[in-house]
């Protein structure tokens, strides 16, 4: 049996082998750019996530570089070379550009960022980091978040620079900070969330001293802007292992500041253990929803799965018979979802879609096990609108019972509903349900002009359409006239 040192040495050699092949792949672009910096009297190195991903064998076409050149010098070098240049991050020392190149017999586009050696830190009251430029790559690397992101490859000579043991930590799949965790998190408190995000993306363990610092400094996250917190949360939720990252946020107390509704789901079970752990249930629903994704990670679906039960703590009631109820938790949860997502500066459209899914996630169960009427099916489709496919996935994911017979029955019942929807969609174009008369026909039939009456009549005909399905024109006109005769006139 190999000993631990031999196993670690083997892991390191595999990592290094992957890096060589990845770096060779991007050499046509990276080396060309490096030579231009060299000719101008500056140095250039591939750095951070790009080096980490090269070592993991997953380097893409987004390349990060660091240099001793100041931003204005970087612009002079890249402008004649790049296909496009942008200066959005220049206040933070970063120049971005795009370059097309032929690599491995294919034309590829590379997104490139070149950042001047720098250091940055927050003060106690600021939401934005203060940036100052540095003069050495070692000082630049020590200010980075984790050792696995604090490695560089000097170009074009390909010298590997690893002053803080990032290669070893990468082989051991552990997240540590180059300086002490306290110094690192004081410089930028968002790094605490990045620890959770990288754990979720890379399936890495977080070093105990890093976790301890996250617990001790969790409240420092409050000085970071909502937009930066949201962006890290999105990356975590869209990762391969979001449970790991979310659990770390909850266990360290960070979630109490950025997503307090999640730890609130850890309800104390009642003395008879008659309701399940809502927090654990939520994480399972998230994972089951991920398994149903068919076009890559779906932020809308994952957020809905994560938030679908956040109304339960506020609606929990202990009934006289010992049961625990959560009446209308979906309605309360939808309102809470809107409030939390708005606080995190999500777009209005995403807030609307996610809160709608939260509001509708119990609708299927409200019909029991009986036969769905055509009217109920139409209303289900109408209310879900463009979220129907996601609602199917969320509803199926929400079944976490260990009772195989009950789970199978629920699955069959939902299969039946989807079949009914498909049949009615084929017959009635459910996706675009409209009344059988339009506004102009309503005004002509009733002899009225534009106004509130037309809106009320339209709503009446829509309800009629949902209840009974399509009507012939003459039947719709007759029904409208009967309704109009019952309305107060004048």
Domain of residue 155, CATH code:
3.30.460.10
CA distance linking residue 398 with residue 385, whole number of Å: 20
Task: Please check whether residues 383 and 480 belong to one and the same domain.
Answer: no
Task: Please check whether residues 459 and 365 belong to one and the same domain.
Answer: no
Residues present in the chain in total: 490
With a cut of 80, say whether residue 339 has pLDDT above it: yes
Task: Please check whether residues 455 and 404 belong to one and the same domain.
Answer: no
Query: Could you list the residue range(s) of the whole structural domain that residue 411 is in?
Result: 260-431
Q: What is the mean pLDDT of residues 295-313?
A: 95
Query: In this predicted structure, what is the pLDDT of residue 17?
Result: 65
The residue among 384, 408, 431 that closes a domain is 431
Most confident of 87-101, 272-286, 340-354: 340-354
Query: In this predicted structure, what is the pLDDT of residue 433?
Result: 66
Residue 305 lies in a domain: yes
Distances in Å between the alpha carbon of 332 and those of 124, 172, 360? 36, 44, 12
pTM for the whole structure = 0.79
Task: Please check whether residues 359 and 453 belong to one and the same domain.
Answer: no
Cα distance from N-terminal residue to C-terminal residue, the chain: 95
Query: In this predicted structure, what is the pLDDT of residue 450?
Result: 83
Which of 23-32, 56-65, 137-146, 425-434 is least confident?
Answer: 425-434
Residue 249 lies in a domain: no
Query: In this predicted structure, what is the pLDDT of residue 36?
Result: 96
Task: Please check whether residues 415 and 448 belong to one and the same domain.
Answer: no
Task: Please check whether residues 106 and 89 belong to one and the same domain.
Answer: yes
The residue among 104, 137, 172 that closes a domain is 172
With a cut of 70, say whether residue 427 has pLDDT above it: no
Residue 209: in which H helix or E strand, if any? helix 208-217
Query: In this predicted structure, what is the pLDDT of residue 428?
Result: 53
Contact present, 157 and 35 (Cβ < 8 Å): no
Beta pairing partners, 382: none
% of the chain exceeding 90 in pLDDT? 52
**Nearest alpha-carbon partner for 44 in 29, 62, 25:** 29
SS3 337: helix
Residue 113 lies in a domain: yes
Residue 255 lies in a domain: no
Task: Please check whether residues 119 and 264 belong to one and the same domain.
Answer: no
Domain of residue 307, CATH code:
1.10.3210
SS3 60: coil
The residue among 142, 172, 202 that closes a domain is 172
Please state whether the peptide bond connecting residue 397 to the residue before it is cis, i.e. omega within 30 degrees of 0. Answer: no
Angle between helices 439-446 and 452-468 (to 10 degrees): 110
Domain count of the chain? 3
CA distance linking residue 421 with residue 398, whole number of Å: 20
Task: Please check whether residues 166 and 309 belong to one and the same domain.
Answer: no
Q: What is the mean pLDDT of residues 100-109?
A: 85
Quote the mean pLDDT of the chain: 85
Contact present, 81 and 100 (Cβ < 8 Å): no
Which of 291-295, 341-345, 431-435, 441-445 is least confident?
Answer: 431-435
With a cut of 50, say whether residue 463 has pLDDT above it: yes
Task: Please check whether residues 308 and 364 belong to one and the same domain.
Answer: yes
Which of 268-272, 305-309, 409-413 is least confident?
Answer: 268-272
Residue 101 lies in a domain: yes
Task: Please check whether residues 332 and 461 belong to one and the same domain.
Answer: no
Confidence category of residue 128, pLDDT binned at 50, 70, 90 = low
**Nearest alpha-carbon partner for 144 in 187, 199, 92, 89:** 187
Residue 460 lies in a domain: yes
Residue 1 lies in a domain: yes
Task: Please check whether residues 12 and 29 belong to one and the same domain.
Answer: yes
Query: In this predicted structure, what is the pLDDT of residue 221?
Result: 96
CA distance linking residue 16 with residue 12, whole number of Å: 6
Query: In this predicted structure, what is the pLDDT of residue 280?
Result: 92
> What six digits make up the tokens of 456?
């009320």
- CA angle, corner 325, sides to 301 and 291, nearest 5? 25
Query: In this predicted structure, what is the pLDDT of residue 477?
Result: 81
Residue 309 lies in a domain: yes
Task: Please check whether residues 407 and 451 belong to one and the same domain.
Answer: no
Query: In this predicted structure, what is the pLDDT of residue 418?
Result: 80
């Amino acid at each position: 049996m190999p000993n631990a040192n031999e196993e670690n040495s083997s892991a390191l050699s595999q990592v290094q082998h992957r890096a060589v092949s990845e770096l060779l792949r991007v050499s046509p672009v990276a080396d060309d750019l490096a030579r231009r910096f060299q000719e101008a009297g500056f140095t250039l190195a591939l750095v951070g996530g790009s080096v980490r991903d090269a070592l993991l064998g997953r380097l893409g076409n987004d390349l990060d570089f660091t240099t001793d050149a100041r931003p204005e010098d970087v612009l002079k070098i890249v402008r004649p070379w790049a296909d496009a240049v942008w200066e959005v991050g220049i206040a933070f020392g970063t120049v971005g550009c795009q370059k097309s190149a032929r690599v491995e017999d294919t034309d590829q586009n590379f997104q490139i960022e070149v950042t001047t050696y720098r250091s940055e830190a927050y003060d106690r009251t600021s939401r934005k980091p203060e940036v100052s430029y540095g003069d050495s790559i070692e000082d630049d690397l020590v200010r980075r978040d984790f050792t696995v992101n604090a490695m560089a490859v000097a170009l074009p000579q390909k010298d590997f620079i690893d002053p803080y043991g990032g290669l070893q930590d990468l082989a051991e799949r552990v997240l540590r900070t180059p300086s002490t965790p306290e110094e690192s998190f004081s410089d930028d408190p968002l790094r605490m969330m990045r620890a959770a995000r990288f754990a979720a993306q890379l399936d890495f363990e977080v070093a105990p001293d890093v976790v301890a610092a996250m617990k001790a400094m969790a409240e420092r996250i409050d000085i970071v802007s909502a937009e930066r917190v949201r962006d890290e949360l999105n990356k975590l939720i869209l990762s391969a292992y979001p449970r790991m990252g979310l659990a770390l946020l909850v266990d360290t107390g960070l979630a109490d500041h950025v997503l307090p509704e999640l730890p609130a789901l850890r309800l104390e079970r009642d003395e008879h253990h008659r309701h399940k752990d809502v927090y654990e249930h939520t994480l399972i629903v998230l994972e089951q929803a991920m398994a149903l994704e068919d076009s890559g990670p779906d932020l809308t679906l994952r957020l809905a799965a994560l938030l679908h039960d956040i109304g339960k703590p506020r609606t929990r009631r202990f009934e006289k018979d010992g049961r625990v109820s959560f009446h209308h938790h979906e309605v309360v949860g939808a309102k809470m979802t809107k409030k939390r997502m708005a606080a995190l500066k999500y777009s209005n459209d995403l807030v609307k879609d996610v809160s709608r899914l939260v509001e509708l996630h119990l609708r299927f169960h409200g019909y029991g096990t009986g036969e769905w009427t055509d009217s109920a099916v139409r209303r289900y489709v109408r209310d879900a609108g463009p979220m129907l496919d996601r609602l199917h996935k969320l509803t199926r994911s929400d079944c976490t019972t260990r009772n195989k017979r009950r789970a199978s029955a629920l699955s069959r019942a939902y299969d039946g509903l989807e079949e009914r929807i498909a049949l009615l969609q084929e017959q009635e174009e459910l996706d675009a349900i409209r009344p059988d008369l339009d506004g102009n026909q309503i005004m002509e039939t009733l002899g009225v002009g534009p106004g509130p009456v037309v809106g009320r009549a339209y709503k009446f005909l829509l309800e009629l359409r949902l209840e009974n399905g399509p009507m012939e024109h003459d039947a719709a006109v007759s029904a409208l006239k009967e309704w109009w005769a019952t309305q107060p006139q004048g």
